[in-house]
Chain A
Amino acid sequence: MRGRACKDMVRALGSHTLAIVHGLGDFTLFTLRSFQSALGSRRLFRRVLRAGFEQGVRCLPVILIVGIFTGLVLGLQGYYVLNRFGSESLLGALVSLSLVRELGPVLAALMLVGQAGSALSAELGIQRNTEQVAALETMGVSSLGYLVTPRLLAALVVFPMQTALFVTIGLLGGSLSGSLLLGLESGVYWSSVERAVQMQDVTECFLKALTFGLLTISLCAYHGFNAHRCRNATGARAVSASTTRAVVQSSIVVLAADYVITSFLV
């Protein structure tokens, strides 16, 4: 009896492992094919611009709001901590390094996943359900090239831009906290920022933004595009399930990738 239970457990473990490996392979092929589809795609630049508008301009308010509050909180918390050691003059360094190296890329990516990623996944899922994807294929148009490639290419531009904006607004927030609310000299804050941030930090920031953009948008597109393959649901429920899965997995991937990149670069 115990032997059978053990066998079942091993079998279940094996089947789950195989499913994960298969999923990873399928996702990698999907991403590679999406980039490959750029080669034969007509009027791609126009669609990249449109996708850039959807991902960039529409996400602007949330990036600005979260960015400013992140900076304000960092400035406030940082000031009180540094004040204990008489090092308030290092507030600019604390805020800037936190934002540039970690919080900027991670929080901007999470905001973009919540706004643009979820919308992309749901839209592709609905397009799959209403045979719009099949319609493209019958026209002899690559559905990946038309629907996914522009979004991926746009993400490679939009994520670094939004991250830069997030960091800039965050630094302004930190300055507002430190200078206007807590009485720190504005010059002290900004000179501390200038001294602290090195080119390597900026490179790390953009490298993270690029990686997060590529991983999250392709994950969201993958789940939306394959909504019809959802095992436990069909129709609207499949779209809902695939969108949820896309957002959850993208958020986890952002944090995991952040750890991996940081551990290699530090």
Chain B
Amino acid sequence: MVLSSPDLLLQVKGVHKRFGANVVLAGADLDVPRGSVVTVMGRSGTGKSVFLKCLAQVILADEGQIFFDGRALADNDAKSRLEFRRRCSFLFQSNALFDSLTALENVALPLEQTTDLRDAEIRERSLEAMRQLELESHQDRYPSQLSGGMQKRLALARAIVTRPELVLFDEPTAGLDPLRRNAVFTMIAKYQRQFGFTAVIVTHDVQEALAASDRVALLDKGRMNFQGSPTEFRASEDLVVTSFRDNITALNASLAAIRQGEIIPSEDS
């Protein structure tokens, strides 16, 4: 099946996913224009990561269609799915780096396994990707010898070394402090412009996402309740969006108060 939307690199229509009786996605839609940064936001446990894994075909959706570059993935055979995977990269929340390989070997792995390039060329391209992410001096180190931020950059270097058209980011700032969160989003925006890939980010860091994205979407109860620009998101009067925004504002106020020593956080907060 071919879709007639040349401006969209990725289009998701009515994706459903359930695990046993637990319905995680109940008809989620998403439009991703070429060359844009699209962020999917939502509270914890709303199925953002499952949604992204459905896009990456790590998890297969029960229903719905995903169109990549105008073609429906679900209708394609294994060969076409393989081709999609080679044009797309996925950044895992945990980075999923190979701990028994050095940083350089990690970056070189997708080129070694998916291309017929010569060893010297693979090494050169891998080093180039590492240089662009300021990791060249750490090429012989193992992932466990790198800091959290460096591991994130290494995962990004591995993701971009194949020059993908689409990069999917699963909670790229999970577990990072506010300064590093900001740095990661800045890094994504910078490299997205530098390399020209299309990015889909899943996160619950609203402020950073709004600053770094061209479009945002809000996932709630298995559906996308909002899709639009950050400006439209801020101005939206949709009940779900306003409730989400109010929660974020309240959370930020609480955090500010905690930092100033006005509130002592309880065990369950």
Contact = CB atoms under 8 A, between A and B. Distances in A.
Interface of A: 41-43, 123, 127, 130-132, 134-141, 146
A137 B85 contact: yes
Given A134-B96, A135-B96, A146 B113 contact: yes
B90 A43 contact: no
Interface residues of B, number: 24
Contact of A130 (B86, B89, B96, B114): B96
B109 A138 contact: no
B96 A131 contact: yes
A51 to B, nearest CB: 12
Given A137-B58, A138-B58, A138-B85, A43 B113 contact: yes
A131 B113 contact: no
Interface of B: 56-58, 82-83, 85-86, 88-90, 92, 94, 96-100, 109-110, 112-114, 116, 162
B58 A140 contact: no
Contacts of A134: 58, 92, 96
B112 A42 contact: yes
B90 A135 contact: yes
B192 to A, nearest CB: 19
Contact of B99 (A41, A130, A138, A141): A130
A131 B89 CA distance: 14
B90 A138 contact: yes
Given A132-B96, A132-B98, A138 B113 contact: no
Contacts of A127: 98
Can you list the 7 inter-chain pairs with the closest CB atoms, starting with the nearest?
A140-B85, A135-B96, A138-B90, A131-B96, A140-B86, A141-B113, A139-B110
Contact of A138 (B56, B94, B100, B112): B56
Contacts of B113: 41-43, 136, 139, 141, 146
A136 B82 CA distance: 12
A154 to B, nearest CB: 16
A146 B83 CA distance: 18
Given A132-B97, A137-B85, A140-B82, 5 more contacts: A42-B114, A134-B58, A138-B90, A139-B162, A140-B110
A123 B98 CA distance: 11
A42 B116 contact: yes
Contact of A131 (B85, B88, B92, B114): B92
Nearest to B58: A134
Nearest to A146: B113
A134 B96 CA distance: 8
Nearest to A141: B113
Contacts of A132: 96-99
B57 to A, nearest CB: 8
B112 A131 contact: no
Nearest to A139: B110
Contacts of B89: 138-139
A104 B15 CA distance: 57
B22 to A, nearest CB: 17
Given A139-B85, A139-B114, A140-B86, A131 B109 contact: no
Contacts of A136: 113
8 contacts: A41-B113, A130-B96, A132-B98, A132-B99, A135-B96, A138-B57, A138-B89, A139-B109
A43 B85 CA distance: 20
B99 to A, nearest CB: 7
A60 B98 CA distance: 26
Nearest to B112: A43
Contacts of B162: 139
Nearest to B170: A131
A141 B114 contact: yes
B92 A135 contact: yes
Nearest to A129: B94
A190 B88 CA distance: 64
Contacts of A42: 112-114, 116
A131 to B, nearest CB: 4
A100 to B, nearest CB: 37
Contacts of A141: 109-110, 113-114
Nearest to B162: A139
A41 B112 CA distance: 10
Which of A123, A134, A135, A141 has its CB near the most chain B CB atoms (within 10 A)? A135
B123 to A, nearest CB: 13
Contacts of B109: 139, 141
Contacts of B85: 137-140
A58 to B, nearest CB: 14
A77 to B, nearest CB: 43
A124 to B, nearest CB: 12
